[in-house]
């Protein structure tokens, strides 16, 4: 499968059979530009403008926006109810963590997760091959907390998102840079433009994978 990053929390997953999953497309966000993407599934983790531009998607797609189970083609999805803060959503509302199972791999996109996971959530989610997680802090978990979630889910590969980049200009000052997470996680780091993985080559990318914004 292939993983591509559009900046912020927006990703495109493409299975070996060609099923495309667009996650958290955003409305114009400073210098990030969300392209129009033909897709089979659109997953929205929460209803904020920098995560819910479903108009960016084209094609006969399945909309995934609830904490329940979905199946389409060769992809099985389960959403887990979480929160955008540490007070059960009282400040920033709900958030959905999605587990995608495809190509014999398990990928989790954490949306704007605002807290560590409970033992019950850890057990329900299970072992994770690829964890996509916010690391910028302020409105989500920070670098240290993201490292703790990474260890909770025992992810083989962790992809950081939702952090300060040049594309965010001064608005990005509210987030930490990815560097802090890379330091705290203490794992080997690989940088790629597109991550092309399979069950067979997963170990080659073990650690943290940072992605170039396209």
Tokens linked to 89: 């959503």
Query: In this predicted structure, what is the pLDDT of residue 138?
Result: 85
Query: In this predicted structure, what is the pLDDT of residue 93?
Result: 83
Query: In this predicted structure, what is the pLDDT of residue 174?
Result: 72
CB 203: neighbour CB atoms within 10 A?
A: 11
Q: Name the nearest CA neighbour of 189 among 155, 158, 167.
A: 158
Query: In this predicted structure, what is the pLDDT of residue 124?
Result: 97
Compute the C-alpha angle 21/24/29, nearest 5°: 135
| pLDDT tens for the chain, residues 1 to 214 | 999 999 889 999 999 999 999 999 987 665 678 889 999 999 999 877 677 788 899 999 999 999 999 999 999 999 999 998 898 878 888 999 999 999 999 999 999 999 999 999 999 999 999 999 999 988 899 999 999 999 999 999 999 998 978 776 666 567 788 999 999 999 999 999 999 999 999 999 999 999 997 6
Query: In this predicted structure, what is the pLDDT of residue 199?
Result: 95
> Is the separation of the CB atoms in 159 and 195 below 8 Å?
yes
pTM over 0.75: yes
Query: In this predicted structure, what is the pLDDT of residue 92?
Result: 83
HSE-CB of 96 using CA atoms within 13 angstroms: 22
Query: In this predicted structure, what is the pLDDT of residue 214?
Result: 61
Can you tell me the distance from the alpha carbon of 183 to that of 153, in angstroms, rounded to the nearest whole number?
19
């Amino acid at each position: 499968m292939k993983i591509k990053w559009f900046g912020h929390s927006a990703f495109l997953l493409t299975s070996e059979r060609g099923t495309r999953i667009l996650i958290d497309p955003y409305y114009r966000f400073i210098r990030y530009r969300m392209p129009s993407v033909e897709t089979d599934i659109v997953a929205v983790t929460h209803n904020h403008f920098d995560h819910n531009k479903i108009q960016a998607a084209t094609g006969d797609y399945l909309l995934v926006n609830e904490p329940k189970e979905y199946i389409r083609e060769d992809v099985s999805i389960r959403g887990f109810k979480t929160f955008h803060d540490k007070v059960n959503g009282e400040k920033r509302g709900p958030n959905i963590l999605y587990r995608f199972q495809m190509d014999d791999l398990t990928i989790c996109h954490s949306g704007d997760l605002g807290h560590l996971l409970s033992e019950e959530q850890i057990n329900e989610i299970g072992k994770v091959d690829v964890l996509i997680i916010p690391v910028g802090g302020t409105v989500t978990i920070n670098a240290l907390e993201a490292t703790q979630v990474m260890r909770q889910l025992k992810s083989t590969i962790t992809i950081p998102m939702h952090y300060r980049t040049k594309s965010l200009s001064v608005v990005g000052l509210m987030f930490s840079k990815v560097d802090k997470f890379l330091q705290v996680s203490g794992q080997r780091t690989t940088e790629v433009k597109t991550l092309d993985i399979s069950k067979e080559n997963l170990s080659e990318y073990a650690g943290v994978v940072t992605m170039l914004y396209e």
